[in-house]
Amino acid sequence: MIPRLRAVVGIAVAQLRHDRTRTTLAVFGVVVAVLATTLLAGVGVGVLEAGERQFDQSGRDLWVSGGPGRIQPGTVGGFENGLVDAHAVTANVSAMPDVATASALSFQAVYAGPNESALETVVGVGGPASSNAVQLTEGSGFNSSDVHYANGSYDGPWTNETVLSPRAAAALNVSVGDRIHVGGTVAEARERQFTVVGISPTYSRFLRTPTIALHLSELQELTGTADADRASLLTVRLTEGASPAAVADRIEREYPEYEVRTNREQLRSIVGDQSLVIAGGLSLVVLAVLAGLSLTVNLVLSLVSQQREELAALKALGASASTLAGVALVEALIIGIIGGSLGVALTIPVAAGLEAVASAVVGFEGLVQTPRLVLAGGFAIAVVVSFVAALAAGLLVARVSPLRHLPR
């Protein structure tokens, strides 16, 4: 048995070395299939883990929204906010059992700049920005509550305070203590000034863009959404040990028109909104595997076809069909093992390069990850591709006839 196995392996290796170009192409096909699988799977794993990490770091347990945010071209602020009576809803939810804090957030585009002639469009966030609500890297944050709201009359004093993200502060070239112009329109921005009271990356981490945080009522006044007290969503932090599902059910019963999600459900919703992108990525994986499979099968069959006379001679000398099929199987397995090993080895440096590019472009870290399960899956793809190629080659070998292929 062992001598026969050695003979099969020896013949297979000799045949692969005989036509190195085809062997190299077959290995390349397997490498392509493995890389496509591992890299796209690594992106999927990284995105999900990064998303969960960001939600965990937010310090929030529930997310209440009035529907998907929509862009409204031609309007001040440019975004439609679906949650109405935001201050009243916030106060009501905050008073519910097991709720530690609730905060309404509004997202609108505003004009901002260090002077009247240098105004840029920046995402304005209406919401809390004190030291107990956001992470501050500089300054003390908001020094008072949302006093301008004044129980819905919107005639309270303006605080004229703002907290900038690091990117916004760098873009406007300002720091804590400086005054900047902010408004929903260019004309309003030229007239109204706010004092920078803090630098915080909290809101920009989720929006992935420079942000300027204002008190909710003040942003509503600037963007014309104070009439219905509109906000984009309500974030809720629960007391320790509270059940997110139970509190979410209570909020949904109180406000059936709104949608309440836990951190995991919110992440699933965001991922679900990218279904076309995910489908495209899966299609690329399938196409890459099929391309690698097709290339490997074709090249293995080509190797067998070119060796018809040698195989026919071996068969005429008494070699069984199973022995010849074993030669084809060993050839395919060698191609699969080499291609799979190279693909897995290349995955690590290529993934590191993609991670660097993704971090620079998007700002998230850990978007491309290659855990052992992903690498093992890539190698398994190589084995599957090789096995299918071996089956096809075995069928061709079984049909080799000494009478047909040997010279007479």
Q: Where are the domains of the chain?
A: 2-54+275-405, 67-257
Helix (H) or strand (E) holding 195: strand 193-199
- Other beta carbons less than 10 A from residue 55's beta carbon: 19
Cα 2 from Cα 215, distance rounded (Å): 80
Whether the Cβ atoms of residue 370 and residue 350 lie closer than 8 Å to each other: no
| pTM of this structure | 0.60
Please determine, for residue 142, whether its predicted confidence score (pLDDT) is greater than 70: yes
Of 181-195, 248-262, 370-384, the one with minimum mean pLDDT is 370-384
Where do we find the tokens 């920078």? 196
pLDDT digits (tens, 9 = 90+) for 349-365: 888 887 777 666 655 56
Concatenate the DSSP letters of all residues of 137-189 into one string.
SEE-B-SS--GGGGGGT--SPP--EEEE-HHHHHHHT--TT-EEEEESSHHHH
**Helices 20-57 and 321-362 meet at what angle, rounded to 10?**
40
- Of the candidates 282, 108, 256, 257, the residue with the CA atom closest to the CA atom of residue 185: 108
Where do we find the tokens 């595997």? 289
pLDDT, mean of residues 307-327: 64
pLDDT digits (tens, 9 = 90+) for 172-224: 999 999 999 999 889 999 999 999 999 998 888 777 789 999 999 999 999 88
Phi/psi-derived region of residue 125, left when phi > 0, alpha when psi is between -120 and 50, beta in every other case: beta
Concatenate the DSSP letters of all residues of 247-267 into one string.
HHHHHHHH-TTSEEEEHHHHH
